[in-house]
Amino acid sequence: MTPFPAAPAAPGGTLILDSEGLAKAVQRDRTVTGWLALARADDLRVITSAATLVEVIHPRINRPALEWTLSRLVIEPVTEPIARHAAALIANTGLHGHKYAIDAMLSATALAAPGPATILTSDPEDLTTLCGSRITVIKV
């Protein structure tokens, strides 16, 4: 009897870190560390937007801890389609201004990720406004 070929591992969804989620991962925050352990156990992709790095990288951050954390997740690029989707999210929700730009890029990245998708954020109101009910938003 010939065994069936092994199916390639497919993630069961995506966990997305905003700037606060990423910063807390770098600081080894217990809540975020727990979410990351669950994500690994459930074979979830863990991602952030390249735009999020702009908010997280500053002179006081522990660079070795940041680099180690980044090595364990996928940094999704801000492509033209993501940027256009982010602009549409801002326009469609009635928000405006640069205040929402990075959140919108993260939201567009989350909406393009394999679902179900969950964002860990310090700003659930804005991300819920941008993503609607298509993404689960958890405050950390």
- pLDDT tens digits, one per residue of 28-72: 999 999 999 999 999 999 999 999 999 999 999 999 999 999 999
Model confidence over 85-133: pLDDT tens digits?
999 999 999 888 788 999 999 999 999 999 999 999 998 999 999 999 9
pTM here is 0.89
Nearest to 133 by CA among 116, 120, 121: 116
- Cα separation values, 106 from 2, 60, 62, 68, 127, Å: 45, 23, 23, 21, 9
57-66 long-range Cβ contacts below 8 angstroms, 24+ apart: 61/23, 61/26, 62/26, 62/27, 65/26, 65/27, 65/28, 66/26
More confident residue, 111 or 8: 111
**How many residues does this entry show for the chain?**
140
- Banded pLDDT at 4 (limits 50, 70, 90): very low
3-state helix, strand, coil in the chain (%, to 5): 55, 15, 30
Domains and CATH numbers, the chain: 14-139 (3.40.50.1010)
Helix (H, G, I), strand (E, B) or coil at 43: coil
Q: Which residues contact 102 (CB under 8 A, 6 or more apart)?
A: 19, 49, 51, 52, 54, 55
